[in-house]
Amino acid sequence: MSTLPRTPQPATTPSTATRPSRSSLADSRLRVVLLLDVRSGAEERFLRAYDELCQQVASVPGHLSDQLCQSIEDPSKWLITSEWESAPPFLAWVDSAAHREMVKPLHGCVEDTRSLRFSILRETSSHAGAGEAGNRGKGRLQAVPRIGDGIVRHALTFTVKPGTEKDVAAILADYASPEARVDDTTRLCRTSLFMSGNRVVRAVEVKGDLVAALRHVARQPEVRAVEEAINPYLEEARDLDDPDSAREFFMRAALPAVHHQAATNGHASEPAGAMRRHALLYPVKEGCGTAVAQLLARQDELALTGGAGTPLVSSTIFQHEDIVVRLVDLRARLDRDPALAAGVGGKRAAAMMSRLIDHGPDRDLSHEDGLRRFLADCDMEPVTDRRSADY
């Protein structure tokens, strides 16, 4: 995954100055670009595999179209582009077991791949409607594009064998941080690691190319030593020296960011010591992951546009199927405003959330005491939180 250099923000007006800076993860159509090196002699096999893949992906919810191109300068270079209604349905599919099965026939045909994902912010069109109204809409997708902050956010999650949690936490907390600079355009900004029971969540923030950053980290001896040390504790075995096993693990463990929002003054003007970072793991009912993520995103947007007094600085929601983790930076203790901290401000939001999650009778989200107990259940244990000196 890659991001473009930060685009200059348009001048603010009284109506937009207090809006949060947020990515367009869930608001715009998504363009996915896949660059491939096809092995010599495998072109026909590759085309057959691609045709089969196209037939299968056409029925995936959220998929709109795709296109296959071959370089006119180097015939071994191929390009696949696809368009999706928005990022969440693509992310749900690309990290699924169904996707892993679909793409297996391509593995023997290609030498290397690189995936890039872009939100469509502006689009020209020759299909405007007739008359003045049609001309006004011609060439415009959104009146106000939502531009991100140049940071790529991603998370990995996996489980360890019950009873080994303390040993795993000690291993994961004890390592030397890798060099933040990856190359001229990419650097590691922050890594936050949390545990809840036997589940581990590692969230990373990268400026530049996420794939390049992850490869950089994976090559560091101190990081490899930590990964090898926790291998015996994992519930699902992996071998990071085996490309197929490593690919399976990272696809299975991927927990993509589907929503991100931040106050306009955000991290830049906020002393690091003034903020507290929490990761909340929600007990989602089967099949309700997307609804929970959308509800939380809407509640965070309302909180961030509600005035300067909110203790919420930023919120990132990671989701894979029914695993939903909300990473929040707060200016206050988690229990100071339990409704805001839990992402359920107001009785209507509390009632909606109650239908989407599993919670006991003493975790009534409509009452402050129940909310506090719910927050205590969801709040993951921090293991380590490391950030580069200039972030």
Q: pLDDT (tens digit, 9 = 90+) per residue, 98-137? A: 888 888 888 888 888 888 888 776 776 554 444 444 444 4
Amino acid found at 193 = L
**What mean pLDDT comes out for the span 352-359?**
93
Q: Higher pLDDT residue, 364 or 25? A: 364
> Rounded to two decimals, what is the model's pTM?
0.74
> Rounded to whole angstroms, what are the CA distances from 148 to 4, 210, 338?
10, 15, 28
151-387 under CATH 3.30.70.100, yes or no: yes
* Domains 21-120 and 151-387 equal at CATH topology level: yes
Q: What is the mean pLDDT of the chain?
A: 82
pLDDT tops 90 at residue 191: yes
Q: For Cα atoms 195, 257, 259, give the angle at the middle one, nearest 5 degrees.
A: 120
The residues spanned by each domain of the chain are 21-120, 151-387
| Domain with residues 21-120, CATH architecture | 2-Layer Sandwich (3.30)
* C-alpha dist (Å) from residue 232 to 43, 143, 202, 337: 40, 53, 18, 40
pLDDT of 278 above 70? yes
The two most distant CA atoms of the chain are separated, in Å, by 69
Q: What are phi and psi of 133, to 5 degrees?
A: -60, -40
CB-CB contact of 30 with 120 (8 Å): yes
Span 174-194, mean pLDDT?
88
Predicted confidence (pLDDT) at residue 23 exceeds the cutoff of 80: no
Neighbours of 205 (CB within 10 A): 23
Q: Got the DSSP string for 370-388?
A: HHHHHHHHHBPEEEEEEE-
- Amino acid 377 reads D
The one-letter amino acid at 107: H
pLDDT at 160 over 90: yes
**Lowest-confidence range among 64-78, 143-157, 279-293?**
143-157
What's the pLDDT at 138?
A: 45
Strand partners, 330: 276, 312
pLDDT at 136: 46
Measured CA to CA, the distance from residue 239 to residue 203 in angstroms comes to 21
The rounded distance, in Å, linking the Cα atoms of 299 and 293 is 10
293 closest CA partner among 271, 277, 264, 315: 315
